Chains A and B, each alone.
Chain A
């Protein structure tokens, strides 16, 4: 695992230097994959659903793809498709984060363990 990681880092550095955008992007892709694998190690079962919902909201980042694409889109149909894509992406982001927040708000901090009735007396 470690040599692999360092290989990736080397690849990223070299690709950045060589100025080939595709290689740089692939290096970024692979590094992001490692981050994704590492960031989730052991998740308590309780948090499986909220975590899935949270990652779900993050891939709503496709919204940005819609924004970038519509900038150079010509023609009615292309723009129409992309407006729908932007709307879909927005639903994914906004709905995703809100619904995750609602799920998590259910995990209220445990109320202080019933205070020992009257310690003083």
Chain B
């Protein structure tokens, strides 16, 4: 017996799958701790390689057109590798959304092809038909929902909530249409038009479900859709009798749900209220006509900020999305070094959802070699603001909004925030007076202790650093 035959043993393939599962699980477990995360990702990737190779050796693939497979793999690699390599750190979240979307799209396409292959006769095999219809609906929702999430974060479509007239009812009607088409197919209809209707209704639902959700909630949305894609992959696995899809898909479906829940909790949001588009959609005070908040905004200069900080004992840097956009992290690190040379204590206050994704700021600051121990999570830093001389807010907005503590009718009321307003002086670096991603006014900017330094964050920070050098 030759080696090829041995590798084609079904037991060998199943054994290879089991190895792959162990590697996925080990990899995921390691991904939950900072010290082992890099290794964990590599382990999971290695598991995937084993699963793919084992499948390619599968006798069920005998007679497959390997040229077509090669074409598919080549296109995917040619698109995926450069996309992952070249994406800016600031654009990571939308990249994840995009990668998640194509996964969901793949599931929907496979389901469609399988339907066509069976000539629509799914009623005979409900154990194939039901999971296939489920995979098609969820896959299609995930594909289109992720694309909208990408568009919002990339700024291709408005990040603020887009209100859809009759939103919830339209969505329910769309879901009912998709499920109805699926049921009709189960009951024996072989019309491909029905299956396409199911895909299209789910696609429109994916679009309409994400459009009304504000950009600030996008992390939760992407994570939800990530879990969805996992579930749809598991369903496709049942339809195709492929254990690898069932196990890996379901693990992602389950762990993705837990992760979504943790993310939502970090933002003091519930998954339900996010998905119903409550955020911003119900915000009363965003109507045009400018500021509803009295008081004046005072702007300052880099030189003044430098003087203020030079005589501080403790400076807390509060980074936000603006720092990411301006790529100011290295400049911030330089400023911190200049302060430390003056024996001023520098800490970084990291809000769990500062930026567009939890962990976004940590990634950027780590890139700039900011020591780990200076990065303080919200609960650790909040008691410190009271004895902080200068808090310097770099492109953060909603996560510093005191309305979340003080104003019960604010749409972000109850969201845990950084209590920046408790420090003795607040400097806010900002491009303009535009409101944050949640689309609400921030009274912090009108606080008498606050001074605004308008301009590009990176330029402003560099200027402060050079002013510090001249003092």
Contact = CB atoms under 8 A, between A and B. Distances in A.
Contact of B262 (A33, A48, A70, A93): A48
A43 to B, nearest CB: 5
A98 interface: yes
- Among the interface residues B44, B75, B87, B250, which one has the most CB atoms of the partner chain A within 10 A? B250
A61 B28 contact: no
Nearest to B363: A106
Contacts of A94: 76-77, 80-81, 84
A49 B96 contact: yes
Contacts of A60: 48, 99, 103
B52 A77 contact: no
B87 A99 contact: yes
Contacts, number: 382
A90 to B, nearest CB: 2
Given A53-B96, A57-B44, A88-B102, A43 B259 contact: yes
Contact of A90 (B28, B77, B257): B77
A32 B96 contact: no
Interface string B291-326: 000000000000000000000000000000000000
Contact of A100 (B41, B83, B127, B246): B41
A7 interface: no
Interface in B316-369: 350, 352, 357-360, 362-364, 366-367, 369
B372 to A, nearest CB: 4
17 contacts: A43-B259, A44-B33, A48-B262, A52-B259, A53-B92, A56-B99, A59-B229, A62-B249, A88-B105, A92-B99, A92-B103, A93-B52, A95-B79, A98-B81, A102-B92, A105-B38, A109-B35
A78 B119 CA distance: 11
Q: Is the interface of A mostly helix, strand, loop or mixed?
A: helix
B440 interface: no
A97 B254 CA distance: 19
A39 B255 contact: yes
B55 interface: yes
B106 A88 contact: yes
B369 A74 contact: no
Interface of B: 24-25, 27-29, 31-35, 37-38, 40-42, 44-45, 48, 51-52, 55-56, 58, 60-65, 68-69, 71-73, 75-77, 79-81, 83-85, 87, 89, 92-93, 95-96, 98-100, 102-103, 105-107, 109-110, 112-114, 116-117, 127, 219, 222-223, 226, 229-230, 233-234, 236-238, 240-259, 262-263, 266, 350, 352, 357-360, 362-364, 366-367, 369, 371-373, 377
Contacts of B56: 67
B358 A49 contact: yes
Contacts of A89: 76, 102-103, 106
A56 B237 CA distance: 17
Contacts of B262: 40, 43, 48
A28 B243 contact: yes
A55 B256 contact: yes
B366 A62 contact: no
B51 A47 contact: no
B347 to A, nearest CB: 15
Contact of A35 (B245, B254, B371): B254
B80 A37 contact: no
B357 A48 contact: yes
B38 to A, nearest CB: 5
A115 B203 CA distance: 58
A57 B45 contact: yes
A92 B100 contact: yes
Nearest to A97: B45
B79 A91 contact: yes
A10 interface: no
Contacts of B103: 56, 59-60, 62, 88-89, 92, 96
